[in-house]
């Protein structure tokens, strides 16, 4: 999880709710939670150290500067073990279903061609009946073995990154997260790179989640302006990768 809490964006409240939600729904005998802190207040320090002492948080990385979302997440990806999937989760989401991380992992184990599997926010518009092909999705029943649960996924090109699991095989092929600036488009680029690497993306859409950030006006305005400035570079990168002029593999540490 990349954490960016400041006095102006007032995200400490969201961070506290997110960590409590994760602690209530994830089996930490099977999974570990790392926090990469791009910005924090004194309250942020109190929150994350309290959860470190309680057990769910296994490691805290304090970044000297705001590295951006991708930069912060890459510090965690660099610590993954061989064959280990990585979940990227935002610091402003509440998940209601226990065992969701295990179910994401199970879906990838059934179909290793799933590059990215995400949990679906209620404000998203992808559906099998959407009139715009860009947002039209497909419900797919994964292969089934007797005695195992039936799993339906929603196959769609673009998976918003509120909570996404990256297949370890995908990360072996494309490396780390890439981003034109400090905010925006890293999720989109990961999805494009997943397709170009021969994988597909989907939602595990029966898991109930809430995006709880109400949007501090000044912070939301900054994000919108920052992203709009970066769109030309994002557009250039996507088309360069499609043409083979830019590699899909990215390692900022080489």
| Dihedral pair phi/psi, residue 204, rounded to 5° | -100, 80
pLDDT tens per residue across span 150-199 = 999 999 988 888 999 999 999 999 999 999 888 888 999 999 999 999 99
Q: Count Cβ atoms within 10 A of the Cβ of residue 122 and give its class: 0-12 exposed, 13-18 middle, 19 or more buried.
A: exposed
Class for the domain spanning 2-243: alpha beta
CB contact at 8 A, 139 and 37: no
Per-residue pLDDT tens digits of the chain, which is 254 residues long: 999 988 878 789 999 999 999 999 999 999 999 999 998 899 999 999 998 888 888 999 999 988 999 999 999 999 999 999 999 999 999 999 999 999 999 999 999 999 999 999 999 999 999 999 889 999 999 999 898 889 999 999 888 889 999 999 999 999 999 998 888 889 999 999 999 999 999 999 999 999 998 766 566 676 677 777 888 999 999 999 999 999 999 999 98
Classify strands 114-118 and 163-166 as parallel, antiparallel or unpaired. antiparallel
Measured at the CA of 227, the angle between CA 1 and CA 34, to 5 degrees, comes to 5
How far CA 233 is from CA of 178, 208, 222, in Å, comes to: 12, 34, 18
Q: What is the pTM of this model?
A: 0.94
**Cβ count within 10 A of residue 17:** 16
């Amino acid at each position: 999880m990349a954490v960016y809490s400041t006095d102006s964006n007032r995200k400490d409240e969201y961070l506290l709710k997110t960590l409590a939600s994760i602690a209530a729904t994830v089996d930490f005998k099977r999974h570990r939670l790392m926090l990469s802190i791009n910005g924090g207040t004194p309250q942020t320090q109190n929150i994350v150290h309290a959860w470190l002492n309680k057990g769910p948080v296994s490691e805290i990385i304090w970044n000297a500067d705001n590295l951006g979302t991708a930069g912060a997440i890459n510090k965690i990806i660099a610590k993954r073990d061989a064959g280990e999937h990585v979940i990227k989760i935002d610091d402003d989401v509440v998940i209601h279903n226990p065992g969701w991380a295990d179910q994401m992992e199970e879906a990838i184990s059934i179909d290793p061609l799933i590059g990215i599997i995400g949990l679906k926010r209620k404000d998203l518009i992808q559906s099998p009946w959407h009139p715009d092909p860009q947002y039209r999705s497909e419900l797919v029943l994964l292969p089934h073995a007797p005695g195992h649960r039936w799993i339906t996924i929603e196959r769609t090109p673009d998976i918003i990154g509120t909570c996404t699991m990256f297949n370890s095989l995908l990360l072996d092929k494309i490396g780390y997260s890439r981003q034109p600036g400090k905010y925006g488009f890293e999720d989109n680029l990961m999805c494009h790179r997943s397709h170009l690497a021969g994988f597909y993306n989907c939602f595990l859409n029966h898991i109930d989640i809430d995006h709880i950030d109400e949007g501090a006006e000044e912070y939301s305005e900054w994000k919108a302006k920052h992203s709009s400035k970066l769109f030309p570079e994002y557009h250039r990168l996507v088309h360069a990768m499609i043409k083979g002029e830019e590699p899909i593999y990215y390692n900022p540490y080489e």
